[in-house]
């Protein structure tokens, strides 16, 4: 069940955990917002490298949220990779993407 997969990620999920930001009419891309604590720059670099490597060939993208001030909490989004098409639409790189798979992949890398 979906709620059990989400519960595995507590406390690393944001209150706005699953969103579908609407940039343009008809463009619906799910974003999962999470966070991880990293006390030092080395720990953050290790964490970001681990995430990037873990999702490298998964069909999903990691995007870190830039902080205006220094913090030990680092937020990021996970979403299906997609390609912008010339006609203004988009196409997912991984046609069989799923939120459930995204949750499973996150659960294996967050600690």
The torsion angles phi and psi of 6, rounded to 5 degrees, stand at: -65, -45
Residue with tokens 């030990």: 72
Which pLDDT value is given to residue 57? Answer: 93
The mean pLDDT of 20-33, rounded to a whole number, is 83
pLDDT at 15 over 90: no
CA–CA distance from 20 to each of 23, 32, 33, 110 (Å)? 9, 9, 11, 22
The residue extents of the domains of the chain are 1-15+33-87+104-111
pLDDT digits (tens, 9 = 90+) for 81-96: 999 899 878 899 999 9
**What mean pLDDT is predicted for residues 49-53?**
92
CA pair distance 78, 61, nearest whole angstrom = 6
**pLDDT beyond 80 at 70:** no
Contact at 8 Å (CB) between 81 and 63? no
Closest CA to 80 of 65, 64, 96, 67: 96
Cβ burial of 54 (10 Å; 0-12, 13-18, 19+) is middle
For the cut 70, the answer to whether the pLDDT of residue 111 exceeds it is no
């Amino acid at each position: 069940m979906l709620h059990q997969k989400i519960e595995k990620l507590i406390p690393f999920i944001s209150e706005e955990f699953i969103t579908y930001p609407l940039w343009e009419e008809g463009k619906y891309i799910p974003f999962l917002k999470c966070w991880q604590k990293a006390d030092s720059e080395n720990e953050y670099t290790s964490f970001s490298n681990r995430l990037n490597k873990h999702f490298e060939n998964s069909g999903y993208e990691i995007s870190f949220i830039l902080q205006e001030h220094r913090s030990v909490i680092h937020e990021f989004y996970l979403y299906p990779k997609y390609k912008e098409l010339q006609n203004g639409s988009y196409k997912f790189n991984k046609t069989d993407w799923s939120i459930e798979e995204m949750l499973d992949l996150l659960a294996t890398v967050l600690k």
